[in-house]
Structure 1
Amino acid sequence: MKWKWLSEKVIRWVGIPVLGLIMTFIVKAGNHANKSLLENFVVSTVFTAVLWNGAAMIIFSLRRKYPDIQQTAKRLIITSLVVTIFLIIAPNIIRLVLGIHTWAEIAQLKTIFSHSEINMVAAFMVSSIYEGTYFFGKWKESFALNEQLKNQQIRTQFEVLQNQMSPHFLFNSLNTLTTLIAEDQKSAIDFTQTLSEVYRYILQNKEKELVRLKEELEFSKSYVFLLQMRYPENLNVDFFIKPEHEKLFIAPLTLQMLIENAIKHNIVSKTAPLHIEIYVDKGEVIVVKNNLQLKNTLEKSTKTGLANIKKRYQFLGNREIDVIESQKNYMVAVPLIEMLTEIEFSKELAYEGIDH
């Protein structure tokens, strides 16, 4: 990159003598007009170097402690307070070390705050540049991450819609519907309505990053209803979810993809029925578990379903998807995400004593 060499350290150490030179003329016109230009330049450069480097260390330390963009206000308040205290104490220590003032002179209130207004203005300018650059960098990072997530969602939408709209799926659905119309018209109507609900959910949530678990479960049960029309005695899906867990969030269509994967890769027959259990473990993850009875030949698959889910959850805060396979069972554990509503967030801010 063209300007990669222009790092913060280069700017700082080039800027110190430049700012020191500017301060030389300000001081020369003020209280130290009796000193030579060179003496004023040396003293001003020492002050600038100590104060700039000290302020930078404070800024970087607090940046490491409060790195998130959501912590910007807190970081700015604490940084301003600590830098202000530093700019009051440090100049007086420098004056003592350089012999500019004695302890007796330092003890005077006038001397303690000497040139403090100049130091504050310089510190404000430098801090603004540091924080502005950092905030802009974080914003770019957040924007890039959001674009990655959008691209991943588009790929997920395509894969799910492709699987649902495939000729194989439509053939099975229409074949099941035809049989139901001849045998049980009420069931045929239920099947058609449920099929409509499945597509409506996909269309309504295809652009969302997260949905409530309650909504995802309702959709999954509708999807399972369609599957059980195809496998009436061969497929058993049991949901064990407590009401308090339904308010948590999950990436949309996650359960559907895991259920579909279980059916795609395992035998589903009267002699070997497939059992799928969906439950919440320790209030933190939702587990999709099925008995393992792999097919000898698999249906044509993109083999990206589980990998797709893993990538989406990495984008949602580096959350890991656990896959556990034994001789008898196959389990996938997906993290559940807790999000505050606007009302809950306001209550938490009030509890912390933050004026918003």
Structure 2
Amino acid sequence: MKWPSEKVIRWTGIPLMGFAMTFIVKDHGHLQKSLIENIIISTIFTLVLWNGAVIIIFWLRRKYPDIHLTARRLTTTMLIVTVFLIIAPNTIRLILGISTWEEIIQLKTIFSHSEINMVAAFMVSSIYEGAYFFGKWKESFALTEQLKNQQIRTQFEVLQNQMSPHFLFNSLNTLTTLIAEDSKLAIDFTQTLSEVYRYILQNKEKELVRLEEELEFSKSYIYLLQMRYPENLHINFAVDHRHLDLFIAPLTLQMLIENATKHNIISKTEPLTIDVYVEKGDVIVVKNNLQLKKTLEKSTKTGLANIRKRYQYLGQREIDVIISQKNYMVAVPLIEMHTEVEFSKQLSYESSDH
């Protein structure tokens, strides 16, 4: 709901307040005039006093604009507005001929209706100061949220930018091994690698990709792996077509499959089996039989940690890692979104919680 502006409220309120004050203020001068004359006079008083008070309030806002100066601004505003509401009505009476100079200079006249003026000063100052303070608080809160979101966005981009060198580093390790074992296979691997890497470059800036795209990319990546392990690596996909329009952080499956091959023995006697399937309709699981290597290949150590942090920044559920005596499983949330634009909007709201 959008509130009306201060000017609209003021210029609507002046005639209404003027009309009301006709019946609130009762003195000898009022009793001698008609109702119309009293409404006009009350409206003139309201016009001058309200606008005068607003000028004082806005001037002091410029003089003491910061939130930490609120106490000084409020005290000064109430003091000056109170003095103004004592002097201005007497000046108006003199100009309109309601009172003579001799009457004006009498203490009784000067402080007539002083209780109304004090209440008015307090109310006007409090309302305007409250609105100003709330506006400043909203600005400060919005700026804090903006800075927080920018910090989160920067951290998220750093994580995303880790993915390309991470993949390239590990792929070059594989290529180095293949060159020593089979130069023709190494050439085929290099050609396929260039195609796969193109996908990474196209998607590394994205926060999410459709599960269908990620699965297709993962299968291409598996083709590279099976050049190295043609008979001893078995990867099974069991993902129903109704889940393909869900979203996942890019390269998530590739990193999990890569981790499985990097940390586990793959041999004729101990083949590695990796199963990829959807569980409960909103979680994709990558599961492998556990047969850890005694010595690990060189690693950038960014795989699972990268996925965890990206999902934290995206505001989604935690990544679950389940280790049993025989199996190692990682469960990653799938995100239901119609478009990536929608998801970006959601990220801007949720990121403040992290």
Quickly name the TM-score band, shorter chain normalised.
0.5 to 0.7
Aligned counterpart, 1:170: 175
Equivalent residue for 1:17, pick from 75, 78, 93? 75
TM superposition shift of 1:124: 4.7
Q: C-alpha distance in 2, partners of 1:335/1:248?
A: 10
Of 310, 318, 321, 1:312 maps to 310
Q: 2:212 aligns with which of 211, 214, 225?
A: 214
Q: 1:123 to 1:292 in 2, by over 3 A?
A: same
1:147 aligns with 2:154: yes
Provide the C-alpha distance between the structure 2 equivalents of 1:343 and 1:290, rounded to a whole number of angstroms: 34
What are the superposed Cα offsets for residues 121-150 of structure 1, whole Å, 9 maximum, x if unpaired? 655544432222221221111111111111
Deviation of residue 325 (structure 1)? 0.2
SS in 1 for 2:153: helix
Aligned to 2:119: 43
Residue 16 (structure 1) shift: 2.6
Matches within 5 A, 1:151-300: 151-165=158-172, 168-174=173-179, 178-179=183-184, 194-300=192-298
Letter in 2 for 1:304: T
Secondary structure of 1:263 counterpart:
helix
User: Aligned-pair distance for 1:340?
Assistant: 3.2
Secondary structure at 1:270 match in 2: coil
Q: How much identity, in percent, do the aligned residues show?
A: 54
Structure 1 contact 238–276 (Cα < 8 Å) conserved: yes
**Structure 1 unmatched runs, 5+:** 1-5, 52-118, 182-187, 346-356
Q: Distance in 2 between matches of 1:335 and 1:214?
A: 15
Deviations 1:267-298 (A, max 9, x none): 11111111101112222221110011111222
CA separation of 1:231/1:342 partners in 2, compared to 1, >3 Å: closer, same or farther? closer
2:245 alignment partner AA = K
Which digits, 9 at most, give the CA deviation of each residue in 1:50-109, with x for residues without a partner? x4xxxxxxxxxxxxxxxxxxxxxxxxxxxxxxxxxxxxxxxxxxxxxxxxxxxxxxxxxx
Structure 2 counterpart of 1:146, which letter?
Answer: R
Q: Distance in 2 between matches of 1:44 and 1:123?
A: 15
Q: How far apart in 2 are the matches of 1:333 and 1:276?
A: 13
Answer whether contact 1:176 1:230 (CA < 8 A) is retained. Answer: no
Give the TM-score of the pair, scaled to structure 2. Answer: 0.64
Shift of 1:233: 1.5
Q: What CA distance in whole angstroms lies between the structure 2 residues aligned with 1:38 and 1:157?
A: 75
Deviation at 1:44, TM superposition (A): 5.3
| Alpha-carbon spacing, 1:344–1:133, altered in 2? closer, same or farther (3 Å) | closer
For 1:303, the equivalent position in structure 2 comes to: 301
For residues 30 and 126 of structure 1, the distance between their equivalents in structure 2, rounded to whole angstroms, comes to 29
Match of residue 136 from structure 2: 129
Shift of 1:300: 2.6
Change (3 A) 1:323 1:138: same
Structure 2 unaligned blocks of 5 or more: 1-64, 93-108, 344-354
- Cα distance in 2 for partners of 1:341, 1:273 equals 40
Query: More displaced, 14-23 or 248-257?
Result: 14-23
* Deviation >6 Å, runs of 4+: 342-345
User: Closer, same or farther in 2 for the Cα pair 1:160/1:324, shift >3 Å?
Assistant: same
Structure number with higher relative contact order (C-alpha < 8 Å, ≥ 6 residues apart)? 2
Query: In 1, distance between residues paired with 2:164 and 2:326?
Result: 32
Q: Which of the two has higher C-alpha Rg?
A: 2
Distance (Å, rounded) in 1 between the aligned partners of 2:194 and 2:216: 13
Query: In structure 2, how many angstroms separate the alpha carbons of the residues matched to 1:202 and 1:195?
Result: 11
The yes-or-no answer on 1:336 pairing with 2:334 is yes
Give the Cα separation in 2 of the matches to 1:208 and 1:7: 40
Residues 266 and 212 of structure 1: is their aligned pair in 2 closer, same or farther, counting only changes over 3 Å?
same
Question: How far apart are 1:237 and its partner, in Å?
Answer: 0.6
Whole-Å separation in 2 of the counterparts to 1:263 and 1:133: 50
TM-score by length of 1: 0.63
Matched-pair contact (CA < 8 Å) for 2:85–2:121: no
How far residue 260 of structure 1 moved from its aligned partner, in angstroms, is 1.0
Alpha-carbon spacing, 1:14–1:210, altered in 2? closer, same or farther (3 Å): same
Q: Match for 1:47: what amino acid?
A: M
Distance 1:197 1:175, change over 3 A: farther
SS for the counterpart of 1:157 is: helix
Q: CA deviation at 1:178?
A: 3.4
SS in 2 for 1:208: coil
SS in 1 for 2:224: helix
The count of corresponding residues between Structure 1 and Structure 2 is: 261
**Do the aligned partners of residues 125 and 264 (structure 1) sit closer, same or farther apart at CA in structure 2, a change above 3 Å counting?**
same
> What residue identity is the alignment partner of 1:253?
L
